[in-house]
Structure 1
Amino acid sequence: MALQWIHAYYGKAHPIWLNVLKQASLVVRKNMKAKEYIETAGVSMDEIVNWEKFSIKTMYLRLKSTFQKMPWKKLICNNGGLPKWTFILILAAQRSLLTRDRLAKWGITDETVCPLCTVENESIEHLFFSCSFSTSVWSNILSWQGLNRPALGWQEELKTASDYAKGNSADAVIYKMSIAACVHQIWQERNLRIFQHQSRPATPIIRMIIQEVVGKGAIQKKLSRKLSELNFYP
């Protein structure tokens, strides 16, 4: 290991970090700068010198520390949908979308009514899927997949989707793609109504979601047979 060699060659009997190696090569000087990362990982120089082998995984885990695992991780990772779908889904799962309730708290807007249903105040929980408009869209997407259940609240949907997404079956992959595409299209429709003062009924949005999922999934052999059993043009 490079640091062990540097310690033996340059360190002598003194701690290596105390030596000023003006004559050292660029590679050696860069290795010396590793002190900051070594200390962050809680590794002493004596420990490094006595290592018989170096594990990148061990060092990575020590630098990374421990963080709470997100229950919706499997819903996001390896999602076969378009990147723009997954991006909006991540923001929604993290509650980072700039819904009107958040903007109102920051004093950016006084308008808090949902632009889709124009009845209740807009929030993540309302938009996905307590709003009558988004509920209609997601319920139809569920029905298209053969899942005859009503749309749930956002946290319940995330938990249900995360549990369902643990498998690698065609049904699970299509489900992950469908919820990502649905969240993205609902957010797009919301923005369309706010910024361009245009609106679309639920039916063409449902059809667009299904056709985009089929178009994306049909190129995968694993999904093509399952998708061929579903109605492409509902």
Structure 2
Amino acid sequence: MPWSWRKLLAIHPLVRNHFWHSLGNGQNTFAWHDTWATCCPIIDIVTHRMIKEAGFESHSKVVEIIENGSWRLPSFWDNRILNTNVPLLQEHMMDSIKWCTDAGVLHDFSVSLAWEDLRVREPLVDWYHILSCPLCSTQPDSHTHLFFDCPFSSRVWDEVNKIAGLSLYGGSWADVLHDLKKIARKNFVHSVVSKLILAGAVYNIWQERNNRLFNQSKRSEDKLIQIIVSTTRLKLMTLRFKNNSRTEAALSHWKLPSSLLIPT
């Protein structure tokens, strides 16, 4: 069995009750094993023999146990099932899977919601505030300080922006994302360089933080700047660009061959 499946099966009891099947036509939701009503999963209440004797299969779908707005279930089955309101199926609507929070609210699935419900919570330790940023040791460690206020990171941002002829560093995530939104869907060489520089700077600053914290290894600001710039240039070498004056200027700036230009 693949490693990924073993891991999924290992956490199945933990996440089982969080996956809620929102019924449409009931054709894609398993009647006994999926959670689609408060009495579910029904397999926790009935046995496989009871299912078989009632004329159903272990893989029967919800649509098969409802007829004309009523249950097609034996009258002697547990009242927790029989007293559940019969769902109103909608023939032309597909079933969907939602994430049911610990508070019982249904949402479209997201990793952040799952993390909030599943993570282990421990009391805040009284020494949390003394953990300083590994890059400068001057302030408590935080995302805002690490990427924008830290002197080490600030110099990295300033230098790579200067080398690339950009102005991405704005002092906050909101400033960076505001500038990036303007060019996110564009494929001009300037927008491509901006996205590569941003990704490279964030990745390498975060990696440097973790290396210092967990591996006790350090790289200088100049080394990080060199890595970000060289990685950006190598990535640009794999792309092709429309031939215009701005592109030619960019290729010259990055010392890239004219063969990257798409012939007109």
Q: TM-score normalized by structure 1? A: 0.54
3-state secondary structure, aligned to 2:241: helix
Give 1:104 deviation, angstroms. Answer: 10
2:211 counterpart residue number: 192
Q: Deviations over 1:104-146 (max 9, x none)?
A: 9556856422121222222111111111111111122222221
CA contact (8 A) 1:217 1:223 kept: no
Q: Which runs of 5+ in 2 are unaligned?
A: 1-24, 28-50, 65-86, 99-105, 117-121, 257-264
- Please state if 1:44 is matched with 2:67: no
User: How big is the alpha-carbon RMSD for the aligned residues of Structure 1 and Structure 2?
Assistant: 4.5
Distance 1:204 1:232 in 2: 20
Q: Deviations over 1:48-106 (max 9, x none)?
A: 0xx4xxxxxx748x656877xxxxxxxxxxxxxxxxxxxxxx99xxxx9xxxxxx9955
CA contact (8 A) 1:116 1:190 kept: yes
Q: Which runs of 5+ in 1 are unaligned?
A: 4-19, 36-42, 52-57, 68-89, 97-102
**Equivalences for 1:45-60 in 2 at 5 Å?**
45=89, 47-48=90-91, 51=92, 59=94
Distance 2:206 2:179 in 1: 21
Which protein has the bigger strand share?
2
Distance 1:223 1:112 in 2: 49
The structure-2 alpha-carbon separation of the partners of 1:198 and 1:156, relative to structure 1 and needing over 3 Å to count, comes to same
Q: Deviations over 1:163-216 (max 9, x none)?
A: 332433222222112111111100111122222333222112111011112212
1:6 counterpart residue number: none
2:31 counterpart residue number: none
Aligned pairs, number:
172
**Equivalences for 1:165-204 in 2 at 5 Å?**
165-204=184-223
CA contact (8 A) 1:104 1:110 kept: no
- Please state if 1:146 is matched with 2:175: no
Q: Match for 2:135 among 92, 111, 116?
A: 116
> Percent of counterpart pairs with the same letter?
23
2:61 counterpart residue number: 32
Which protein has the bigger helix share?
1
- Based on CA coordinates, which of the two structures has the bigger radius of gyration? 2
Distance 1:104 1:116 in 2: 27
Distance 2:242 2:204 in 1: 22
2:251 counterpart residue number: 228
Q: TM-score normalized by structure 2? A: 0.49
Give 1:160 deviation, angstroms. Answer: 2.3
Distance 2:225 2:88 in 1: 59
CA contact (8 A) 2:129 2:140 kept: no
3-state secondary structure, aligned to 1:229: helix
